[in-house]
Chains A and B, each alone.
Chain A
């Protein structure tokens, strides 16, 4: 996931990286969580097979198949997102599809529509949009993106 960023992590000691490197961390499930740091700005399609924490700015579409997406407190997203679970602690404008669950925490601000079998809004969360509590979340078919950021 974010091969360029991973390389940047390894090369950071040799040459100054122009951007904050992505930092893979072990997720509670044992897999890796890759972080998009606060100084990173991404435009385009984002796909991946591991958990992702976004603290930067992303515009486009995010598709994580069977993995978890977290928008951190510093994350600013303008994108439609599909993941197994989605947790928003920052700001997101777009439609969210969670195969299992979507959570908006106290600090989260979401404008858009949510499709998920379970939606949790913590007290103080800001949300405007609709929540479909009936339809089963189906993975949207992504159009082939010529220069997708593979995760």
Chain B
């Protein structure tokens, strides 16, 4: 169930404890290694997920300004009717006019956007990135997914703990690479890894 979709409604609250599982993150590991190659560079990092002390602690190894968007919080409180025009992305995700991010962390949020919402968000983000900026994301490859976006705890650059957002499941959009490239023309797939957990790990680069 897309959080950001026409006529959509928020997923009901979980009655049972959501699960969690460990997963490898080779593309994220590559990303960290790339960032570490320029220790003196100050990075602008945008985390679309909820505030996480774990993420802040992890990225404190870099000189950086770490922006927390908590996008799900905004989207969950917003539902539009069938005839309602799409919202201004800048209203859903207000960013400083001058912000140019070097890295955008999407986690599994893209799965919870419909195609229109995904294209709007990607366009908005692209205006706030410089050429060569990175975007990291997980895309569900199985038919169903947790009904709400999850949380990802960074155990090391190559290992994460995925805390499912909900015990309830919803149909997954199963975005294929060509679909993502069509919806996000400002970002090219730089690396893509199929993981064992029903997730495809993507590393995009702004073009």
Interface set of A (CB-CB < 8 Å, partner B) = 104, 119-123, 125-134
- Report whether B42 and A134 are in contact in the complex, using a CB–CB cutoff of 8 Å: yes
Check A126–B51 contact: CB distance below 8 A: yes
0 or 1 for each of B61-100: is its CB under 8 Å from A? (1 = yes): 0111111111001000000000000000000000000000
Q: Are B53 and A131 in contact (CB under 8 A)?
A: no
Q: Verify B51–A127 contact, CB threshold 8 A.
A: yes
What residue of chain B has the Cβ atom nearest to residue A119's Cβ?
A: B56
By DSSP majority rule, is chain A's interface helix, strand, loop, or mixed? Answer: strand
Complex-state Cα separation, A133 to B57, whole angstroms: 10
Q: List 6 A-B contacts (CB under 8 A).
A: A120-B53, A127-B51, A127-B70, A128-B68, A131-B56, A133-B62
- In the assembled complex, the CB of A129 is this many whole angstroms from the nearest CB of chain B, namely 6
Number of interface residues of B (CB under 8 A): 17
Chain B residue at minimal CB-CB distance from A108: B51
Q: Is B67 in contact with A130, judged by CB distance below 8 angstroms?
A: yes
How far is A132 from B44 in the complex, measured between Cα atoms in Å? 9
State the Cβ distance, A64 to closest chain B Cβ, in Å. 23
Distance in angstroms between the alpha carbons of A131 and B59 in the assembled complex:
11
A121: contacting residue among B51, B63, B69, CB under 8 A: B51
Q: Say whether A133 contacts B51, CB under 8 Å.
A: no
Closest residue of chain B to A127 (Cβ to Cβ) is B51
Chain A nearest Cβ from B173, distance in angstroms:
26
Give the distance in Å from the alpha carbon of A26 to the alpha carbon of B62 in the complex.
Answer: 38
Min CB–CB distance A130 → chain B (angstroms)? 4
Q: Which 4 A-B pairs give the minimum distances between C-beta atoms?
A: A121-B53, A127-B51, A134-B63, A130-B67
Interface residues of B in 19-67 (CB under 8 A from A): 42, 51-53, 56, 59-60, 62-67
Residues of A within 8 A of B59 (CB): 133
**B65 engages A132 (CB within 8 Å):** yes
Given contacts A121-B53, A126-B51, A127-B51, contact A133 B68 (CB under 8 A): no
> How distant is the Cα of A129 from the Cα of B63 in the complex, in angstroms?
17
Most buried by B among A122, A123, A130, A134: A130
A132 to B56, CA, bound (A): 10
Given A121-B51, A123-B53, A125-B51, do A133 and B65 touch, yes or no (CB 8 Å)?
A: yes
A130 to B70, Cβ gap below 8 A?
no
Contacts of B51 on A, CB cut-off 8 Å? 104, 121, 125-128
Smallest beta-carbon distance B90→chain A, Å: 15
Which residues on the B side are within 8 Å of A133 (C-beta)?
Answer: 56, 59-60, 62-66
Q: Could you tell me the distance between the alpha carbons of A119 and B55 in the complex, rounded to whole angstroms?
A: 11
- CB closest chain-A residue, reference B99: A130
Q: How far is the CA of A133 from the CA of B55 in the complex (A)?
A: 12
A134-B68 contact, Cβ under 8 Å, with A122-B53, A128-B51 = no
Q: Which residues of the other chain, A, contact B42 by a CB distance below 8 angstroms?
A: 134
CA distance A127 to B59 in the complex (A): 16
Shortest Cβ distance from B158 into chain A, in angstroms? 22
Nearest B-chain residue to A126, judged by Cβ: B51
